[in-house]
Amino acid sequence: MTDAAALPGQPRDAVRSGPATERAVNVLAPNASPMTLDGTNTWIVAEPDSDLAVVIDPGPLDDGHLREVVDTAEKAGKRIALTLLTHGHADHAEGASRFAEITGTRVRALDPALRLGDEGLGAGDVVTVGGLELRVIPTPGHTADSLSFHVPADQAVLTGDTILGRGTTLVAHPDGRLGEYLASLRRLRSLTVDDGVHTVLPGHGPVLEDAQGAVEFYLAHRAHRLAQVETAVENGHRTAEAVVAHVYADVDRSLWPAAELSVRAQLDYLGEHGLI
């Protein structure tokens, strides 16, 4: 068995529902798959002495899961006062409208199409509920509307799909853009260096105890993949399909369609920077 402390980001041993930090509790959605790992992590975040809580990413449209989120908050003596979305993918946001009906909350997101209420979210925003402070960090790249949420009191960041607890994130052409994603990773790295963030609360997979190590691993992985794609093109593999067959030859073929979208994003990036 591999020692978790030796893995990138020092993941905790298991993915489970329950407390992750002093302020954050996970409710794991029952939607495990190769793309969602163990399922979507729905986060309940609140000050320990407050009766108000924020929910980040209600997850799929699954009434049992949504009601479990409410029940978990209520058992802790808290009322859900606001719903936030890291991005609009269905495994994170499909249940948001139904969750808003159940809880009577507004839904705030970067994408206006996902909002319920007048307020959105953007760079520099600070969300405060019951003494809790969440700082909004734009982290586009996985999707154009991706956000992360910095919890200064826990020295933690909720990353949605920008950083996962296991494996690496898909940057899928055309909505996903690699240049933006790399800038987002560098933005998150600055949180670890300048703001003392050491815990990643991801949208999928286990909690990571070494935020800086996770970011550095992601940056190194992207640089390695880019170099592989660039070399493949130089060797005559001119289409995304040909690059995938060459670079991802050791990857399960069922994942090749997703890999092709990633390669298209990489080819765009290399072309924009005059590298191919």
Distance, CA of 143 to chain centre: 10
Alpha-carbon Rg for the chain in angstroms = 19
How high is the pLDDT of residue 135?
A: 98
Please state, in angstroms and rounded to a whole number, the distance separating the CA atoms of residues 84 and 53.
11
Q: Which residues pair with 33 in a beta bridge?
A: 37
In order along its 276 residues, the chain shows pLDDT tens digits of 345 667 899 999 889 999 999 999 999 999 999 889 999 999 999 999 999 999 999 999 999 999 999 999 999 999 999 999 999 999 999 999 999 999 999 999 999 999 999 899 999 999 999 999 999 999 999 999 999 999 999 999 999 999 999 999 999 999 999 999 999 999 999 999 999 999 999 999 999 999 999 999 999 999 999 999 999 999 999 899 999 999 999 888 988 999 999 999 999 999 999 988
Structural domains in the chain plus CATH codes: 18-273 (3.60.15.10)
Work out the angle at residue 122's Cα, subtended by the Cα atoms of residues 119 and 123, and round it to the nearest 5 degrees.
150
**Cβ 103 vs Cβ 70: under 8 Å:** yes
Cβ-based neighbour number of residue 184 at 10 Å: 25
Sheet containing strand 18-19, strands side by side: 18-19, 24-28, 41-45, 52-56, 79-84, 107-108
- Positive/negative CA dihedral, 265, 269, 271, 276: negative
| Dist. CA 228–CA 224, nearest whole Å | 6
Here the tokens at position 27 are 């409710």
**pTM metric for this prediction:** 0.95
**What pLDDT digit, counting tens, does each position of 71-95 carry?**
999 999 999 999 999 999 999 999 9
Contact 224, 239 (CB under 8 A): no
